[in-house]
Structure 1
């Protein structure tokens, strides 16, 4: 992999009018980047830290390297020009290099970083180009109904391989969701991307808004210490969404997320509530849940105390059909569905210390022969 460090003060060299008011580079299709090495073809989208474009390689640099094939497509992540975003970019480069170096044979489903350069005050990260993300896969092939179990199983196996490498390297991705998982042209190969929120597990800063809300683990919302287990939770939510086409916890806020989690998994333990940094935002002195709801008449937020004990709508009741339907299912089909439910249960344990590990997941009956 070729890594060229951007100029230290590149952020200060921004050219007038090349950026919008938020510091995103105004990308033009057909624009030539990195001294004629790449040509922009289309813009793929914007994120919090950057914009991403697809480009083609115009000239080879080096000898017979995969990334130097003329005409090959690549993805280029153009970091916003603000100094804080530049720091995020440098960190992402370091993490991707660490993960790629730990996976020289490219078998762990982490997107490959190929090159880094500077363009008009913007750090640019060049990675392999994939076809679409899993959000688009769901929309195109499984909207409201989900994908078939065979595809979900194959995808789950690849995702847990990626998590196994991250755990080995002590890296927390901190934003796993369908949008940040890329699929190949034939939809058979996945790569986890967008490590802009990632960090070493030892650096975990307590903040209630880490990870996109629907995929946010309870320990993040509560303000408890966290580690790589938050990515296991996110993958569990993602797999449910792949299979059903629906979001597992579509909370309107952190408070609503906790309510939906407890309706599915039961009450969060008093031990964890007592240790929570943000306890008072969600629980009273008796450790009962304070649900923040909207008054239907006034539209104002009102607090309502709820006593929650057992789950009212668990994963099994959502995913396993009634007995009359089960009788019509093939034995292997029902067995695999029950294994899938068990895996999701283990991914979404409220107590992070009891959550399944990537290695355990790869040995789980649902994936053991994948």
Structure 2
């Protein structure tokens, strides 16, 4: 057993580390992932082009006086700032190609009525759990079936009534069944799919019912301060077990974040859920909007062929969030995400930039980063060249308290090993990231 909430002493240590680290702090508890859902949906499902292709470049260049740029290389020349104007194209409407269901809304989501029965009276819906990009989820009770099943609670994912979503639901079912067969004793912390059925043109996936997701856990037990380090260690161990099964089955989850990790009533056991974006590791077509933005690995943004190392990056972001209560990379765009990554980890190597499909969108020929920043005066976006050589705020500064705070040896050792694990999860070069197998024997996990 472990305590979820931090003790007073641990809270103080974390508060001092965050004060010392400075920089933008965004609460993990207050973030609403549904705000980004529509944007990502149009970009991924309907194939909207990468941000910068919607930016119209204005010809003139202005000289900028007295720029206070901590990253800029010392030079006697005045800086040129290129002004760019963003032309926002109207969002494509959600195309519903097979709305056979009068109970679906205009986007194909099933409009649930509490108390209604599904699958010929087998299940009765008693609450709505929310919606994601592919489906909405309800909690239901089993009314008919085996004696040991009746009265049991389940979660039912009702896939949107739209052809591409239906196909995605079938793919998720196939992946979940493959994982279930590879883990017959249910020891690898992947949510269990019990069965599927169809209801008014919607594919429905029936899952074991769990209590709440990790964002809700942070909100309840660690709002703005994060969870106890021993709780983070227990959760990390279980997450890497789930990744070891995914790796064994050659599957990428491609959307790991606190919202897609569920816990049981006692908050001691977690399960990785929502495999709607999952695929075989060989399916790695370049797409700059795979994975929710704050958890998106740099190789996805830059346009590299990616592999299961993208999930390790997402777990690194998630574990940092669980411990600190803050989002590690709260970038408003792919461009800003890369800047925040370099502030934490230093510059990308030149080889990685050159091999990237979108490398020249983010870096000039000399390796300077083309940071797109909003000019509040003109209302336009300005491209500023930023030269980053080493991190400005690394993980030690963000997680460890200042040297004036004395920790017990055991606590210090535990925090140092946590920082080391995060560092290995968040290597900019995916080939250098820790593997699930290596993570399971890391000192932080092994204890």
Of the three residues 427, 432, 435, the one matched with 1:354 is 432
Of the three residues 113, 129, 153, the one matched with 1:44 is 129
**CA drift at 1:12:** 5.0
Contact 1:13 1:120 in 2 (8 A): no
**Where in structure 2 are there 5+ consecutive unaligned residues?**
1-96
**CA drift at 1:296:** 2.3
Match of 1:203? 283
Of the three residues 230, 237, 260, the one matched with 1:157 is 237
Match of 1:233? 313
Match of 1:26? 111
Matches within 5 A, 1:231-270: 231-270=311-350
TM-score (norm 2): 0.77
**CA drift at 1:60:** 1.4
- Verify: 1:14 aligned to 2:100, yes or no: yes
Match of 2:268? 188
Matched residue of 2:391: which SS? Answer: coil
Provide the C-alpha distance between the structure 1 equivalents of 2:164 and 2:411, rounded to a whole number of angstroms: 50
**CA drift at 1:13:** 7.6
Higher-RCO chain (CA-CA 8 Å, sequence separation at least 6): 2
**1:17-72 residue CA offsets vs partner (Å, 9 max, x unmatched):** 211000011111111011111000101000010000000000114xx6xxx61111
**1:336-362 residue CA offsets vs partner (Å, 9 max, x unmatched):** 000000000000000000000001000
Provide the C-alpha distance between the structure 2 equivalents of 1:158 and 1:13, rounded to a whole number of angstroms: 40
TM-score (norm 1): 0.93
Matches within 5 A, 1:82-121: 82-121=162-201
**Where in structure 1 are there 5+ consecutive unaligned residues?**
1-10
Matches within 5 A, 1:206-355: 206-325=286-405, 327=406, 329-355=407-433
Provide the C-alpha distance between the structure 2 equivalents of 1:241 and 1:12, rounded to a whole number of angstroms: 40
Match of 1:8? none
Match of 1:3? none
Count matched residues: 351
- Verify: 1:139 aligned to 2:215, yes or no: no
Provide the C-alpha distance between the structure 1 equivalents of 2:342 and 2:258, rounded to a whole number of angstroms: 23
Matched residue of 2:140: which SS? Answer: strand
Provide the C-alpha distance between the structure 1 equivalents of 2:404 and 2:446, rounded to a whole number of angstroms: 29
Contact 1:222 1:279 in 2 (8 A): yes
Matched residue of 1:323: which SS? Answer: coil
